[in-house]
Structure 1
């Protein structure tokens, strides 16, 4: 990420982004909650990517260099918090579950007049209380550092439906499946199977935001049937893929 822009104060506002639009790499001295009420948002850092749709928000800690990418027409709600106010004690980007109440609080707080009125102070306090109770979600696609893993992951990024075994992919990148298994655990903190499922779910969210039919998404991302895809998607996100379309 070159030409990193520094923003001292993380804004609190509502912003719309067209499909495919991006906010270049930047960092700010405040924490920020980033929520997409419509569309799918991806945030990328040197450590990987996090993706969230309308039932998820992304916590971005102060000082984190990150870029935003819109998939589908994006209605973005940003909540800035002072670096001293970290209700969840998180020091890395994290996807959080957004229930109906927290959703309405975020929408109200980002749309309301940005003043120091008692009403706004109370609204902020309730928002932070709800944020503390928000479960963290494992919607993180970590980025590899080892050159062999980078090459393998690039192959699957280009075609998530590639169903080759780790041994077969290893022959292409010049590493044994045993070595790659160790590297996945060391570099990415998960197994090859777990990482590939995360990649496929990530890509599925993007395709759904673009209006791709569920069956087409299932096959494009490597599932053998729409029902298999729906089952994995529901277990990961608590909703069917139709919710995100």
Structure 2
């Protein structure tokens, strides 16, 4: 796996966060990073095309074109594009209430997509027009139930080291006991930390990591077979089955969505 194909990057390790202005319509190249920053208003981040990783201290959310991410005001975050990505960022008016207290994936249906595009096009909108569109956006915000597109981050240093080792080599066959030996923790301790800090088992987290890496590889133009091999699946069919369960669509349909939205 290439060194830059890391699903989770530590926002806290980046430069001091900065504020960035206005609504955003920006074409990002493959692997391009928008450094850690925050806004004084709520924001909706949406990839009209491509795949966007949205990272906060709580982990990373993967957003394909049928998902957006709500980012509450003053939440430090960064973005990375996987494949050519048309990124849209809508800063809601200061008067807009905060619907969700933490970063939340949003299901993007056709009407919401068109509203987000309209709010980020270069044609200027009057204040009244913008507020009317925002009101409809708020009515159309439906949290997505695909938690697997969220890869949570750990607090315990030993668990963080285990996650870093898995991110560096998602295809590794190392057991939790073997990984624990590397970081100086027992399998039992690590199993407990996975449940307490990440809310899932070790196999569940590793599967989600592999699906995240698969999403990125496909967005970068790799074949389904290559993505399956590089993320540790024994067969392409096993990857396709797991991908469909986690993402809600097959890799082939996901690729078509990336290319034709």
TM value normalised by structure 1: 0.90
2: CA distance between counterparts of 1:183 and 1:202?
A: 21
Query: Any unmatched runs of 5+ in structure 2?
Result: 1-13, 256-261
Query: Any unmatched runs of 5+ in structure 1?
Result: none
Match of 2:206 in 1: 196
1: CA distance between counterparts of 2:186 and 2:89?
A: 45
Change (3 A) 1:118 1:45: closer
Kindly provide the CA deviation profile for residues 211-243 of structure 1, in whole angstroms up to 9, marking residues without a partner as x: 010011112112221111111211222211123
Aligned residues, how many?
241
Match of 2:243 in 1: 233
Q: Does 1:3 align with 2:16?
A: yes
Structure with more relative contact order (C-alpha pairs < 8 Å, separation 6 or more): 2
Change (3 A) 1:108 1:163: same
Secondary structure of residue in 1 paired with 2:126:
coil
Kindly provide the CA deviation profile for residues 151-179 of structure 1, in whole angstroms up to 9, marking residues without a partner as x: 11111101111122212222222221111
- CA positional deviation for 1:198: 1.5
Match of 2:36 in 1: 25
Kindly provide the CA deviation profile for residues 75-96 of structure 1, in whole angstroms up to 9, marking residues without a partner as x: 0111111355246x31211222
**Aligned residue among 132, 137, 157 for 2:146:** 137
Secondary structure of residue in 1 paired with 2:80:
strand
2: CA distance between counterparts of 1:69 and 1:83?
A: 26
Residue pair 1:54, 1:244 contacting (<8 A) in 2 also = no
**Aligned residue among 165, 171, 176 for 1:155:** 165
Q: Does 1:39 align with 2:67?
A: no
Match of 2:63 in 1: 52
Kindly provide the CA deviation profile for residues 86-115 of structure 1, in whole angstroms up to 9, marking residues without a partner as x: 46x312112222122222221222226332
2: CA distance between counterparts of 1:83 and 1:227?
A: 48
Q: Does 1:224 align with 2:224?
A: no
1:48-127 → structure 2 map (5 Å cutoff): 48-82=59-93, 84-86=95-97, 89-111=99-121, 113-116=123-126, 119-127=129-137
Comparing 28-37 with 40-49, which one deviates more in the overlay? 40-49
Residue pair 1:94, 1:136 contacting (<8 A) in 2 also = no
TM value normalised by structure 2: 0.85
